[in-house]
Amino acid sequence: MNKGNVFISGASRGIGRDIAIHFANNGYKVVGTSRKNFDFDEDLNNLFPIKLDITNRDDIKDCFTELKSNDLLPSILINNAGITSDQIFLRMKDEEWDSVIETNLTGTFNLSKIFIKNMIKNKSGRIINISSVSGLMGNPGQVNYSSSKAALNGFTKSLAKEVGSRNITVNSVAPGYIETDMTAFLDNKSKEKIIKNIPLGRFGNVKDISKMVMFLASDEASYITGQTISVDGGLLMY
Q: Which residue numbers are catalytic?
A: 145
Query: Whole-angstrom Cα distance, residue 217 to residue 128?
Result: 8
Q: If you write DSSP's letter for every residue of 103-135 in order, what string do you get? A: IIIIHHHHHHHHHHHHHHHHT-EEEEEE--THH
- Residue 120 DSSP one-character state: H
Q: Are 166 and 120 in contact (CB under 8 A)?
A: yes
Query: Whole-angstrom Cα distance, residue 140 to residue 155?
Result: 23
How, if at all, do strands 125-130 and 47-51 pair?
unpaired
- Residue 12 DSSP one-character state: S
Helix (H) or strand (E) holding 189: helix 188-195
Compute CA distances 236 → 83, 133, 136, 177, whole Å.
22, 7, 8, 11
Q: Are 36 and 22 in contact (CB under 8 A)?
A: no
Report the phi/psi class of residue 186: left, alpha or beta, with left for phi > 0 and alpha for psi in -120 to 50. beta
End-to-end Cα separation, the chain, in angstroms: 42
Q: Are 55 and 110 in contact (CB under 8 A)?
A: yes
